[in-house]
Amino acid sequence: MANNKFIEYLYSKLPEKDRIFRLAEVIIREEGTLSIIFLVPAEKYDNYMSDSLKNLIFKLTKDLLMDNIFEIIYRKTVSDDSYVKTEIIKYFYKNNPLIMSQIRDEDIDILSQNDFIKIKLNTSKELKEYITDNSISENVIKHLAKIIFEDIEFIIEENKEIDYSIRKKINYIGTNDNKIRLVDISIKTPLSGTISRQPIYISDLEKIREEVVVCGKISGYKNGISQKKNKPWASFILDDTTGKIKCVFFAKYKNQNSVVEQLENDMTVVASGNFSPQKDNDKGEWIIFVDKISICDIDYSSITLDMPYKDVPSDYMTVEPTVYEQEIQSSFFMLDGQIDDRLKGNIVVFDLETTGINITEDKIIEIGAVKLIDGVIKEKFQTFVNPGKNIHIPEEASKVNNIFDEDVANAPPLSDVIPDFFKFCYGCTLVAHNATFDVGMITYYARQFSYNFDNNVIDTLKLAREVLHKTTGVSLDVLRKKFNIDSGNAHRALNDAVATAMLLKELLKIDKS
C-alpha cells in the first residue's frame, strides 16, 4: 500500500490490525480548517472501525498537527469491477469528452488482486497517443485514488482490431445499475457558453449529482428581475421524455441578458450547470442552476425508455407493402459489377412529410419507404396519415410537399399506421436524409403507441458531408441534381425515399473510391 509520511506516522503508532485506512486527500476550507479524508474498505469499516480507534487516530493526528483546526472524514469504499469502470468513464465524461466519444464499456478491463487494481484501456493508436501526450492516465489515477482504497495501475494498449469508423454511436456510460445513458443532439444556436459534453437522461441525474448536462423541451417558462442584484433570471422545466427537471438561469453578465429574452416554451435546448438541492424548499427538490445553454435538435431515437414495448405484429392490418417494380434498379445498385457489402442485408430507406419541423409538436402526414434486400429494391410502403381532428396543414407546409387537408381527411391515423411501418422496418437498417429529424420523429411518436424503433441508422446527409467534404449544398434537392437522380416529384415521401436510396449508392461509390 502506497504511503506518505503522515500515514507512516499513524501506522507506526497503531497495531497492524488497525491499519485499515489510507489518506485520500486533505482539503483546506475557506475558513482555514483542514478536512482530512481517509478511505476504508466498507467491510473493514463495518467490522473494525470502532469509536475507540477513531478517537485514537484523532488524538495522534492532533499531536502531529498541534494547533491546526481539523476534522477527519471516513469514506467507505467498495472497489468491485463495475464501480471502478463506471468511475473511470464518469471521469472521462466530465473531463475529457473527446475520449468519452471514442470508448465503450467493453474497452476497459479491470483486474483486482488483493490491495491492487490493474486497469487496462484497449484503444486506437491515435487515442493512445492523445492520452499519453496529455498525461491523462496520471489524472485518472489521481481521481481514483480519492475514492478507491487499493493501489492502482492504469495502462493503455493499442488494439488494432478495433474499427472505430464502423462503431455505432455510444449511448451510455457505466454498467448495470450505474449505467448513465447519453442523448444525441445537434447544437443549433449557442446562447451562453460552449457545451462540449453529451447530455445524459434526466432520469439518470441522481447517479451524478454534480456538474451535469441535460437536454429537453422547455415548459412552464417564467422570467423576471432579481430584487437583490437587479439582474434578469429565468426558470423553466426541461422534459426529455425520460423525466423532468426544474432549471434556473441567472444572467450574471450583461451579455447574458439576451438569453432570458430568447428562451421560450416548446424550445428544445441543452443546458449545463450545477445539480443541487433547492434552497428554502421543504420537499427536498433538486434543481439545475444553469450556467451554459444552447438551442439544439434532439435525436429522440437515441433515447430508450424503460417501458414494455410491443412485439412486431404478425400481420399487416392497415397499410400493406406492395412490390416495387422498376427494371433499371437491379443494375443501378451494382458497384463495379458487385453489390457493395454495405448494401447487403435488409435496408429500409424512408422519408416523412410533416406539418412542420418541430419533432414533438408537428404531425406526420405521409410516410414513404422502400425496402432493399441485398441492394435491390423489393417492396414499397406508402400512406397518407390523418394528423388528427381539427389539425390544419399549414399553407407553408403544403407549398413544399403539395399535401392538403383533403388529401389526408380519409387517411388512417398514425396509431393504425405505426404498427404496420414497424413491421416493415423490423430487423432492417434505416436510411434517411437528415435522419436526426425523420428517425427522431418516427421514434418519438412510435413510443406513444409502445413501439420502439431501435434500428441501426445511416444518415445520407452526414455521409454526404463526409465523402464530399462539404458542410453546405448537401440537401436532397441539390444532390438529386448533382447525381442526375430522377425519382419523380420531390417532397413527396415515396419519391424522396427512392431518391435517398439512389443517393446512398452514389455516396458509397465515392467513399469506396
DSSP per-residue letters across 435-455: HHHHHHHHHHHHHTTT-----
Which has the closest alpha carbon to 257: 287, 238, 225, 232? 232
Gap between the terminal Cα atoms of the chain: 56
Distance CA 183, CA 302 (A): 6
User: Contact at 8 Å (CB) between 426 and 418?
Assistant: no
Distance CA 381, CA 166 (A): 28
User: Contact at 8 Å (CB) between 84 and 148?
Assistant: yes
Helices (H), 363-486: 395-401, 405-408, 414-425, 435-447, 460-468, 476-482
Is residue 201 packed enough to be buried (19+ CB in 10 Å), middle (13-18) or exposed (0-12)? buried
In three-state form (DSSP H/G/I as H, E/B as E, the rest C), the secondary structure along 157-186 is EECCCCCHHHCCCCCEECCHHHCEEECCEE
Amino acid of residue 326: Q
- Alpha-carbon torsion, ordered 430, 434, 435, 436, to 10 deg: 170
Place of cell 474498505: 41
Distance CA 260, CA 25 (A): 40
Which residues lie closer than 8 Å to 419 by C-beta, 6 or more apart? Answer: 310, 313, 317, 318, 449, 451
Distance CA 377, CA 325 (A): 8
Distance CA 248, CA 319 (A): 46
Could you give phi then psi for residue 37, rounded to 5 degrees? -110, 120
- What is the CB neighbour count within 10 angstroms for residue 442? 26
Distance CA 151, CA 84 (A): 12
Question: What amino acid positions are annotated as catalytic residues?
Answer: 491
